[in-house]
Amino acid sequence: MSDQLIIFDTTLRDGEQSPGASMTREEKLRIARQLERMKVDVIEAGFAASSNGDFEAVKAIAAAVRDSTICSLARANDRDISRAAEALAGAQRARIHTFIATSELHMEKKLRMTREQVLEQATLAVRFGRNLCGDIEFSPEDGYRSDIDFLARVCEAVIKEGAGTINIPDTVGYAIPELYGDFIRRLREKVPNSDKAIWSVHCHNDLGMAVANSLAGVKLGGARQIECTINGLGERAGNCSLEEVVMAVKTRRDYFGLDVGIETSQIVPASKLVSQTTGFVVQPNKAVVGANAFAHASGIHQDGVLKARDTYEIMRAEDVGWAANKIVLGKLSGRNAFKQRLQELGIELDSEAEVNAAFQRFKDLADRKNEIFDEDIIALVMDESVIA
C-alpha cells in the first residue's frame, strides 16, 4: 500500500454548500490558485451541472491551474457527467466525481429507487464517465449508513467499470472514529477488486469528529485520500478541515507513517483568503489557523517557550505560514517575558531595580487591562504618568 496520502480539497464545492458561503467565479479562481500554491493534489472546483456560474468557474479553474488535478462533481447520470467533462476539457489533469446514494433511507425516501436500480445506475454512470475521462471517482452518498454488503457490491461493480477512487462519505457526520475506521477496513475486505482503487474518506463534522474520523479511516481503514476543506468550511457544521488533518499527519508521522505533499507554509494564507472571501470568521482558538493557535499567555508557558519552544509548541508557527509565535503580555505574564519584550523593543533599563519597578507597574496595569500592547509598555517605561 502506498505511503502517500492524497489531499483532495473540496472548499470550492462542498465548502461552498455552507449557507452564506457562495463565491463568484473570480473568487473561486483566486482560491484555486492558492490551493495550487499549497500543492493540493486534487481540487474539487465545483459541480458543473448545478448552474451556469458553477460550470464557468470549473472551466476557468481547469484552464488556469496546471499542477493540481481539477475535479467536478456530477450526479450519476449522463447529462451531469457530460457537463462535467465539458467544463474540465481544458484541464491538464481532470477528474469526474460521480455519486449516488446507497443507504436504505436515501434510496427509499429520497431517490425512490430499489437497490438493483441504484447498482445499475452507478455502474452505467461510471462506464459513461470512463469514456470521457481517464480519472473517475465514485461516491456512494451516505455510504457510512449503508448496508455494508450492498455497498461492497456497488463498489466492486464500479471498480470493474474503471473507477480509480472510491470515496466513502459520512454524509451526515454520524460516525465515531473507531467504527468508521473499522467500516472502511471491513468494506475493503469485502470488495474482491479493492486493490484496484484508491480508497478515500469524506467526513462531515456534525458531532465535531470529522478530523478524527478521517484519520481513523486512514490509519485503521487503509484509506489513502482525505477529502477536506480550508477552515473546515462546509454544509451544516462543515467538513474535515484540511489544516488539521495535514498537520496531524505531519506532526505525528511517527504514528501515521505517511507522506503529504502539502506546502504547509501556505496554510495560513489559504485560511485567511477563504475567511476574507466568504466572511466566515475563524475562531481564535481554532487549531493551526486560529489567531491564538501559537499564542502563549500564561507566565509559566511564556517562560518555558522563551527557554525552549518545544516545551509548549508541537509545531512551529512559521511552518504553517504565521510570521512567528506570539507571547501575549497580560496579567499572567512573568518577569522573563516582560524583560524579553523590553529587549525586543530596544528598551534598556539602567538597573535590575528599574526593571523590577517597571515590571510592578506593568502588573498593575495588566490587572486593569486585558491585553498589554507594545505601546503600553513603551509608555509605562518612558513616562509612568501617561498610563496612570
The answer on whether 195 is annotated among ligand-binding residues is: no
Contact string (CB under 6 A) for ligand KIV, positions 151-170, x = contact:
------------------x-
Among 9, 14, 27, 80, binds Zn ion (CB under 5 A): 14
The answer on whether 41 is annotated among ligand-binding residues is: no
Among 9, 54, 141, 243, binds ligand KIV (CB under 6 A): 141
* Shortest distance, position 329 Cβ to ligand KIV, whole Å: 44
* Shortest distance, position 206 Cβ to Zn ion, whole Å: 11
Q: What are the cell numbers at 296?
A: 502563549
Q: How far apart are CA 249 and CA 315, in angstroms?
A: 12
Owner of C-alpha cell 485520500: 225
Which entry of ligand KIV, Zn ion, none binds 359, CB below 5 to 8 A by partner kind? none
Residue whose CB is less far from ligand KIV, 225 or 266: 225
Q: What are the cell numbers at 257?
A: 507513517
Please give the backbone phi and psi of residue 225, each rounded to the nearest 5 degrees, phi first: -135, 135
Residue whose CB is less far from ligand KIV, 123 or 340: 123
Residue whose CB is less far from ligand KIV, 8 or 322: 8
Q: Are 245 and 214 in contact (CB under 8 A)?
A: yes
The answer on whether 202 is annotated among ligand-binding residues is: yes
In 3-state terms, what secondary structure has residue 217? Answer: helix
Q: Which stretch binds Zn ion (CB under 5 A): 12-20, 78-86, 134-142, 273-281?
A: 12-20
Q: How far apart are CA 60 and CA 73, in angstroms?
A: 15
Shortest-Cβ-distance residue relative to Zn ion: 14
- Amino acid (one-letter) located at 126: V
Residue whose CB is less far from ligand KIV, 175 or 315: 175
Which entry of ligand KIV, Zn ion, none binds 99, CB below 5 to 8 A by partner kind? ligand KIV
Q: Are 159 and 196 in contact (CB under 8 A)?
A: yes
Among 99, 138, 144, 322, binds ligand KIV (CB under 6 A): 99
* Shortest distance, position 171 Cβ to ligand KIV, whole Å: 3
Interaction between residue 202 and ligand KIV (CB under 6 A): yes
* Shortest distance, position 45 Cβ to ligand KIV, whole Å: 14
Is the dihedral angle over the CA atoms 370, 375, 379, 385 positive or is it negative?
Answer: negative
The answer on whether 259 is annotated among ligand-binding residues is: no
Closest residue by Cα to residue 161 from 199, 102, 118, 120: 120
Residue whose CB is less far from ligand KIV, 71 or 267: 71
Q: What are the cell numbers at 66?
A: 496546471
How, if at all, do strands 136-141 and 198-203 pair? Answer: unpaired
Which entry of ligand KIV, Zn ion, none binds 102, CB below 5 to 8 A by partner kind? none
Which entry of ligand KIV, Zn ion, none binds 141, CB below 5 to 8 A by partner kind? ligand KIV
Site for ligand KIV in 305-364 (CB under 6 A): none
Residue whose CB is less far from ligand KIV, 158 or 380: 158
- Total number of residues binding ligand KIV (CB under 6 A)? 8
Q: What are the cell numbers at 304?
A: 518555558
Any bridge partners for residue 74, and if so which?
Answer: 98
Closest residue by Cα to residue 114 from 122, 104, 123, 124: 104
Angle at 69 between CA 66 and CA 72, to 5 degrees: 120
Please give the backbone phi and psi of residue 243, each rounded to the nearest 5 degrees, phi first: -60, -35
Q: Say how many C-beta atoms besides its own lie within 10 A of residue 295's C-beta.
A: 16
Q: Which stretch binds Zn ion (CB under 5 A): 11-19, 255-263, 312-320, 332-340?
A: 11-19
Closest residue by Cα to residue 95 from 132, 120, 127: 132
Contact string (CB under 6 A) for ligand KIV, positions 168-197, x = contact:
-x-x--------------------------
- First-to-last alpha carbon distance for the chain, in angstroms, is 66
Q: What are the cell numbers at 128?
A: 459513461
Interaction between residue 14 and ligand KIV (CB under 6 A): yes
Interaction between residue 225 and ligand KIV (CB under 6 A): no
Which contiguous run of DSSP H or E holds residue 250? helix 242-251
Owner of C-alpha cell 493551526: 288
Residues found near ligand KIV in the complex (CB under 6 A) = 14, 99, 139, 141, 169, 171, 202, 204
Give the residue numbers of the binding site for Mn(2+): 14, 202, 204, 239
Which residues are part of a known binding site? 14, 202, 204, 239
